């Protein structure tokens, strides 16, 4: 059960980034990797090889801005949501949650489904 759940489901990484930033005003890359580990009690890890390209893409799309700061002799690149990023964070989170609900329905066909 570890082999797979250890890894991020393809496509969800950008949503994870946006959602974490929605609650925190700013974070730097390494901090994101640690926060995900912390939130999932070490059961989920995001690799830096996936994270950094994802951050750069979100920045290029105008959803994130950056500011670099040197702390303890090491450079940190802080990312924050832009206005557009805030909107996208909301929308993409809703998309992903909707998708997950559908997936639940398929994976757990005996589940109780409350009426609308």
Partner DNA sequence: TTTAATACCTAAAATTTTTAGGTATATCGA
Partner DNA sequence: TCGATATACCTAAAAATTTTAGGTATTAAA
Residue 115 to residue 93: CA distance in whole angstroms = 23
Place of tokens 């959602």: 19
Residue 10 to residue 75: CA distance in whole angstroms = 29
For residue 9, which of 76, 107, 85, 100 has the smallest C-alpha distance?
Answer: 100
> What 3-state DSSP class applies to 69?
strand
Q: Which stretch binds its own copies (CB under 8 A): 51-59, 62-70, 72-80, 97-105?
A: 97-105
76 binds its own copies (CB under 8 A): no
2 binds DNA (CB under 7 A): no
Going residue by residue from 62 to 81, which x/- string records binding to DNA, judged by CB under 7 A? ---------xxxxxxxx---
Q: How many CB atoms are located within 10 Å of the residue 36 CB?
A: 20
Over the Cα atoms of the chain, what is R_g?
16
Q: For residues 16-45, which are near its own copies according to CB under 8 A?
A: 16, 19-20, 23, 36, 39-40, 43-44
93 binds DNA (CB under 7 A): no
Place of tokens 């979100």: 58
Q: Which residue from 48, 61, 69, 95 is in contact with its own copies, where contact means CB under 8 A?
A: 95
Residue 76 site contact among its own copies, DNA, none (CB < 5 to 8 Å, cut-off depends on kind): DNA
Binding residues (CB under 7 A) for DNA: these are: 7-8, 10-14, 28-31, 34, 46-50, 52-57, 71-78
């Amino acid at each position: 059960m570890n082999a797979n759940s250890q890894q991020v489901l393809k496509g969800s990484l950008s949503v994870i980034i946006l959602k974490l930033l929605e609650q925190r005003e700013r974070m730097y890359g390494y901090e994101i990797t640690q926060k995900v580990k912390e939130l999932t009690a070490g059961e989920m890890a995001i690799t830096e090889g996936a994270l950094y390209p994802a951050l750069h893409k979100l920045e290029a799309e105008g959803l994130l801005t950056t500011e670099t700061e040197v702390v303890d002799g090491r450079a940190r690149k802080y990312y924050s949501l832009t206005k557009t990023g805030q909107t996208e964070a909301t929308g993409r989170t809703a998309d992903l949650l909707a998708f997950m609900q559908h997936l639940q329905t398929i994976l757990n066909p005996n589940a109780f489904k409350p009426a609308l």
